[in-house]
Chains A and B, each alone.
Chain A
Amino acid sequence: MFRVILYAQWKWSRLVVTLGTIAAFILPILSVQGASPLPASPMRAGEILTMVQAWGVLYPVLAAALGLLVAIATWAPDHRGRHVHALSLPLPRWRYVLLRFGAGLVLLAAPALAVLAGAVFATRFAAIPSGLQGYPVALAIRFGVAVLVAYAVFFAVSAGTTRTAGVILAAIGGVVVVQVLAGLANIHLDVLTPLQGALLLWPGPLAIFTGRWMLIDV
């Protein structure tokens, strides 16, 4: 059963997974493109850190995009077919959902491994100045976990009904509206900052996406 679901999901999301895997492999290599073994300029170390940090912004973006697109691709055919196929299977819903989730995870392992391969390749062939070190494994682990969290979040949203998604969006919009109205009324009410902290700081659910994503660091 798992193989069938995996194959079906591969057919639905192969474009996303293939492009994501290529991007995941290329990204670490691009981030160290200036650190060539050619005669080093005296500013090299600082420049490398700046460049790696600038490219590092794209890792969480790629992780979130992959999680979102694969989660959507996982559930879109079911929603389009009004779940007739799923209901025709001799499976309880929870097991069907687990199979779908597991199949998505297997497909997302490819981009995570591609980041590892690209990062190892990049750090091996880049001229890293003394005092700086490459962290390909730590970066790849972090990327893999970020992809997993993004996938789980969007999977949960996609698995729900349109109404559920509407409620979530309305809740987010409501918080923003309250903040704007409080600002207009000159009331000292800060809703967004604590909410932002709860989401983006450890142990918040989205903390894995924040901070610096450095392939090369001190």
Chain B
Amino acid sequence: MCRRGHLLLIAALAGPTTLAAQHTAEIRARADSLLREWRQASALAAVQDSLRHAADIAGRDTVRAGALTILVNPSPLPVARAAARAWAQIERFYGTAGEALARQPLVLRAIDPDTAAQQNPGGALPVSWDVSDDVLTGLLVSLADLSGADPALHDWLGGALIPSFDTEPRRAQVYVELVTAPSQAVRGCFRGDRLACRDALSLAGTPDMLTRWYGPDERRFLATVEYGAFLNQGARAPEFRSCAGGSDSACLHLLESLPPGSLRRPLSYAARFSLLQTARALGGAETFHRLFSAPPGPMGARLAAAARVSEDSLVARWRADVLAARPTPVPLPPWGVWVALGWAAVFMSCGLGSSRWRVS
């Protein structure tokens, strides 16, 4: 009886273990099977992509201007002329670094502007073939984005690297940001603190910029207003209420809990791009060659090395350029008042014009 009891006890204890082991093995087999299926699907997708790409570029003309290579279907689109003009601007901006564009040909699909048929360009960029030379040139220039070759630069910039020399409107926009951005770093930068400028532009490469970018009031605003809908739910709700009640540590903790990279940077893409333009202006045509070949590190040091000035000088020059581009506060040209008075006189004289009294 006692032996039978022991056997029963052993069986009772071993039963779940055996079942669990069987269950684990079954799950592992399923996981392996899923992995095989996924690999097979990935391989098929790659083949499909490759075939689609081959179909995209099949039957297209190749237009080259410098390192700019464009694959485009035969059409009246003035690609060669626009490519030559675009390459002149691209080369002037990137210098020898622009040669890297040879590795990334642009695929265009010229389409009939009058057709109502559905276009299916695949991976090619559709372009109506009646666009002007200037528009097409601008499009080709905007597609010459070399930031893909430098992920750190791409992440820092937060957008495409466009070979543009058009600085004034962007700097005017940055001026408004310096005045209005809700960030202690930006305000400090506007007042002349270059360290604050470096923080605002994320040049130091420090991973946690939260406390340097935003003060306590700004952190509370960000947590309760900007990210309020996301943070005021689930387990974070009590901490959210605490933050709204004035606890800075709660606000800090809430903002730190945001997914990496989702915290709003105090200055926009325009500000960082304008810094890049300043570096280009200081460093000349070979700036990008030096930038792309610089060793990895904080973006401020890399940009300064590319511009061949100290980081402090680079930031100071950028700030001076931005302050000099202050937008016109009252958008009225100096002669505007006189022109308006002239028009008033013209209209008034129209009232004088009638030679007799008329009622109809």
A interface with B by C-beta (< 8 Å): 41-43, 45-46, 49, 79, 82-83, 86-87, 93-94, 97-98, 101, 129-133, 135, 138-139, 141-142, 145-146, 148-149, 151-153, 155-156, 158-163, 186, 202-203, 205, 207-208, 211-212, 214, 217-218
Contacts and interface: CB of A to CB of B under 8 A. Distances in A.
A146 B179 CA distance: 29
Given A49-B176, A138-B330, A149-B340, 7 more contacts: A83-B357, A93-B357, A101-B351, A135-B330, A138-B332, A152-B343, A159-B354
8 contacts: A46-B181, A129-B179, A145-B340, A156-B348, A158-B351, A160-B350, A207-B339, A208-B332
Nearest to A160: B354
Contact of B332 (A43, A45, A142): A142
Contacts of B340: 145-146, 148-149, 205, 207-208
B351 A155 contact: yes
B180 interface: yes
Nearest to B331: A211
A128 B336 CA distance: 28
Main secondary structure of the interface of B (DSSP, over half): helix
B212 to A, nearest CB: 15
Given A155-B351, A218-B179, A211 B332 contact: yes
Q: Report which residue of B182, B215, B217, B343 has the largest number of chain A beta carbons within 10 angstroms of its beta carbon.
A: B343
Interface in B209-247: 215, 217-218, 221
Interface of B: 114, 175-176, 178-182, 187, 190-191, 215, 217-218, 221, 326-327, 329-333, 336-337, 339-341, 343-348, 350-352, 354-360
Top 5 closest A-B pairs, CB basis? A131-B179, A152-B347, A159-B351, A46-B180, A217-B329
Nearest to B221: A42
Given A138-B330, A155-B351, A161-B360, A202 B176 contact: no
A42 B217 contact: yes
Contacts of B343: 149, 152, 205
B341 A218 contact: no
Given A152-B343, A156-B348, A160-B354, A79 B359 contact: yes
A7 to B, nearest CB: 21
B344 A148 contact: yes
A120 to B, nearest CB: 15
Contacts of A43: 182, 221
Contact of B190 (A94, A131, A217): A131
Nearest to A145: B340
Nearest to B116: A186
